[in-house]
């Protein structure tokens, strides 16, 4: 707690002697209660389920640049450098997770899945779930214009905290935080896990009523050799049940099967009649 107090007292000591606060016209520095800010930062530490050896790192991760502009104090650094580091750590940990979790996926599919998992909107949802916006230090003007709910600010703070954890406890500590924040709550991952089984599920449903399995047909292949996009349709007899696209035939077939399952859930009568004999 003593280290927290040292950080907070330094953070809210006000501008250096002889320097006027910067900021919007007419904006005066808010009279902040250092003790309440200390408790707020400690609350973030509790949400992390990680205890910092150097609490100043977490404190820095919670400082938006507008706070420094308003106070005209260069003794405290904003969270942008930590955000830069956290982005790289998040990318490494996420890539490793997806590589191990989905051995059947090609590079293009892994990239698309990663982009959904770590995009700004996903990170902002993490921050909203943790009510992180309440604890970010920013100018009164930034807060008044919705800064505490702005996706970009929230996502940047999440990445900055990841960077702070990495510096404080190493890669293993950062992995633990990322797993709890993202992987345990990743709707995209859960949806994809279902998608990866859609082809088997579709075959089970159809063959439970008919002996003829679904069949898949490539409609077209587009793009250069290193960025191929396959478009595939799945048929029950001559009836098209769904279409899908992917970086390879396998992933396109999985997407088509998922589309077919959604359609069958709405139109189960599509399987009432036996498939055309030509199938």
The catalytic residues are 87, 159
- Cβ atoms of 90 and 209 within 8 Å: the answer is no
The single residue listed with the structure tokens 């970010």 is: 136
CA dist., res. 173 & res. 186, Å (int): 19
Q: List, in sequence order, every beta strand (DSSP E) within the chain.
A: 215-222, 229-236, 239-246
Q: Cβ of 66: how many Cβ atoms within 10 Å?
A: 22
Classify 128 as helix, strand or coil: helix
**DSSP conformation letters of 124-181:** HHHHHHTTGGGG-B--HHHHHTTGGG-HHHHHHHHHHHHHHHHHHHHHHHHHHHHHHH
What span, in angstroms and rounded, lies between the C-alpha atoms of 110 and 115? 9
Two structure tokens written together for 257: 């099967």
């Amino acid at each position: 707690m003593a280290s927290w107090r040292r950080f907070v007292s330094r953070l809210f000591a006000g501008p250096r002697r002889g320097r006027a606060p910067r900021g919007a016209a007419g904006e005066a520095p808010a009279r902040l209660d250092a003790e309440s800010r200390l408790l707020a930062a400690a609350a973030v530490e509790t949400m992390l389920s990680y205890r910092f050896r150097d609490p100043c790192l977490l404190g820095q991760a919670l400082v938006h640049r507008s706070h420094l502009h308003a106070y005209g104090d260069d003794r405290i650094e904003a969270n942008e450098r930590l955000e830069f580091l956290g982005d790289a750590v998040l990318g490494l940990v996420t890539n490793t997770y997806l590589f191990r979790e989905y051995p059947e996926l090609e590079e293009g599919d892994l990239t698309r899945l990663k982009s959904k998992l770590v995009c700004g909107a996903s990170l902002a949802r993490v921050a909203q779930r943790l009510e992180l916006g309440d604890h970010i230090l920013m100018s009164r003007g930034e807060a008044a214009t919705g800064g505490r709910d702005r996706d970009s600010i929230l996502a940047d703070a999440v990445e900055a905290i990841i960077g702070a954890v990495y510096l404080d406890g190493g890669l293993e500590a950062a992995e633990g935080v990322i797993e709890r924040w993202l992987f345990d709550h990743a709707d995209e991952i859960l949806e994809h896990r279902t998608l990866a089984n859609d082809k088997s599920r579709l075959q089970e449903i159809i063959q439970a009523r008919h002996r003829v399995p679904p069949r898949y047909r490539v409609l077209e292949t587009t793009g250069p050799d290193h960025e191929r996009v396959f478009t595939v349709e799945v048929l029950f007899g001559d009836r098209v049940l769904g279409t899908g696209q992917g970086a390879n035939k396998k992933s396109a077939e999985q997407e088509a099967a998922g589309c077919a399952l959604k359609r069958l859930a709405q139109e189960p009568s599509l399987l009432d009649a036996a498939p055309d004999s030509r199938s």
